[in-house]
Structure 1
Amino acid sequence: MNTDEHEHVIEVTDLRRVYGGGFEAVRGISFAVDSGEVFALLGTNGAGKTSTVELLEGLARPTDGRIRVLGHDPYAERAAVRPRTGVMLQEGGFPSELTVDETARMWAGCVSGARPPLEVLELVGLARRTGVRVKQLSGGERRRLDLALALLGDPEVLFLDEPTTGLDAEGRRDTWELVRALRDRGTTVLLTTHYLEEAEDLADRLAILHDGRIAVTGTPAEVTAAQPARISFELPKGYFVGDLPPLGELGVSGHELDGSVVRLRTRELQRTATGLLVWA
């Protein structure tokens, strides 16, 4: 790969995106991604993940703020950025009557220096489905095709928007392995997800988006340590909160009682869960 040297591969400063009706989807966020890093934007639907990624891809102009991808403005200098990036959208919108092979070949014709289509189809597990029409693919297979097309140009920077949505457990594991392999080759990956497990497993660093703002950012270990976990369970009949082991000794920072249901807050999930299981 021919990645130019930049302090950061992706730089976002005070980014805002306001839609025509006045809805502010992205509210002044800032973050940076280094070369060869996997960075995850984590959040629920509507948190602003896709709106942010579309700006990074140069699909829309920011309302305010600054973006640099590989040292360029992805919207104003799209011709300099697009050939060096790969994009996996939530919905690819492929012609339904084309086969998998025809779709990959058509897409390759639009990519400078494209890899052989069969090579990327093999990477994502679609080599045996090349003759199948897109309309006959399962939802998970369409996501695999989305990923294959994003890899055709051997990108330096890869944007993955909810890459494992619709995949079964095996498909998710395969995709994770592929992302790890890409990182090992030096590809910079920015992915969005609403799966904490996925962000923890793949990302070197992550940011949690909530209501268009970054609530917290850091390594997965730093972020999970900063966010108290919650445990809920029902007390056995005839038992009371006072019958539990000393909650402070289990790392519990607070609790609520709703009838027989106990809700605990803890920053030491394993310690708390183990103590409760031993008591039970």
Structure 2
Amino acid sequence: MHQDVKLYAHGITKKFGRRTVLDNVHLAVHAGEITAIVGANGCGKSTLLRICAGLTSPDRGTVQVHSTLGYCPQDGGTVDFLLPDEHFTLIGAGRGLSRRASRAAGHAHARALDWEPDPVQARRLSGGTRQKLNLVMASIGEPDVLLLDEPYQGFDRGTYLDFWDQLHAWRDQGKAIVVVTHLLTQLDRVDTVLDLSRTTTPWRTGHR
């Protein structure tokens, strides 16, 4: 395996009952690369990301992550009664950061999304703002691998563009990024694409 491969998934197969959701899927994501996972609803995009994050076990296949990892779910992930700063502190503590460093990192990443976190419980945030919170939590501690499951749900156009600017900045920093999306209309935004409706291996976009 090439030394700059940060995430390597080989032969991933997953069934739910009699239904095969993923069948012998392969994925290798390098440092400084964005991979998009696309495909029809129900083709296993979120399941593959959860397997790569270690939250779901495959029936067959292996996943290797050669660095620290951050994961942003499509929904959930926040605690209703906690403030954004308390989320930052909780995640930061798990990554060895002090309370002050965790909050500073959270606010810095929030500003990149044009968001200033208010001291409001998560249950009172809009869906789009809760998703910003999820995305910020995934990035605290500067993980080298980021797994993002349709993280822009509820974003307005300005924030959606800020999101892609942030992804490109992370790529320039050498991070390996996987983003599940159904809104990708410009393939030059990413480096490789895995279309689970058509194939089990990624193809390069020719962007870089």
Q: TM-score range by the shorter chain?
A: 0.7 to 0.9
Matches of 1:175 and 1:164 in 2, distance apart? 7
Give the C-alpha shift of residue 110 in structure 1: 2.1
The RMSD of aligned alpha carbons is 2.2
Q: 1:121 aligns with which of 104, 107, 110?
A: 107
Q: 1:14 aligns with which of 11, 14, 30?
A: 11
Q: Counterpart in 2 of 1:165?
A: 153
Unaligned runs of 5+ in 1: 71-80, 223-280
Unaligned runs of 5+ in 2: none
Please tell me the residue identity of whatever aligns with 1:86. G
Aligned residue pairs total 202
Q: Counterpart in 2 of 1:92?
A: 76
Query: Which structure has more RCO (C-alpha within 8 Å, separation ≥ 6)?
Result: 2
Give the C-alpha shift of residue 196 in structure 1: 2.4
Q: Counterpart in 1 of 2:138?
A: 150
Question: Do the aligned partners of residues 112 and 201 (structure 1) sit closer, same or farther apart at CA in structure 2, a change above 3 Å counting?
Answer: farther
Contact 2:25–2:201 (Cα < 8 Å) also in 1: no
Matches of 1:117 and 1:201 in 2, distance apart? 34
Runs of 4+ in 1 over 6 A off after TM superposition: none
Q: Counterpart in 2 of 1:106?
A: 90
Please tell me the residue identity of whatever aligns with 1:12. A
Q: 1:66 aligns with which of 43, 62, 70?
A: 62
Matches of 2:201 and 2:62 in 1, distance apart? 20
Give the C-alpha shift of residue 8 in structure 1: 2.1
Q: 1:219 aligns with which of 184, 204, 207?
A: 204
Give the C-alpha shift of residue 23 in structure 1: 2.0
Matches of 1:7 and 1:169 in 2, distance apart? 33
Instruction: Percent identity, please.
Output: 27
Question: Do the aligned partners of residues 111 and 216 (structure 1) sit closer, same or farther apart at CA in structure 2, a change above 3 Å counting?
Answer: closer
Q: Does 1:194 find its partner at 2:182?
A: yes
Choose 1 or 2 for highest CA Rg. Answer: 1
Q: Counterpart in 2 of 1:31?
A: 27
Please tell me the residue identity of whatever aligns with 1:6. Q
Give the C-alpha shift of residue 123 in structure 1: 2.1
TM-score by length of 1: 0.66
Matches of 2:108 and 2:120 in 1, distance apart? 15
Contact 2:194–2:202 (Cα < 8 Å) also in 1: yes
Question: Do the aligned partners of residues 214 and 50 (structure 1) sit closer, same or farther apart at CA in structure 2, a change above 3 Å counting?
Answer: same
Q: Does 1:174 find its partner at 2:162?
A: yes
Give the C-alpha shift of residue 127 in structure 1: 5.5
Question: Do the aligned partners of residues 175 and 7 (structure 1) sit closer, same or farther apart at CA in structure 2, a change above 3 Å counting?
Answer: closer
Q: Does 1:205 find its partner at 2:192?
A: yes
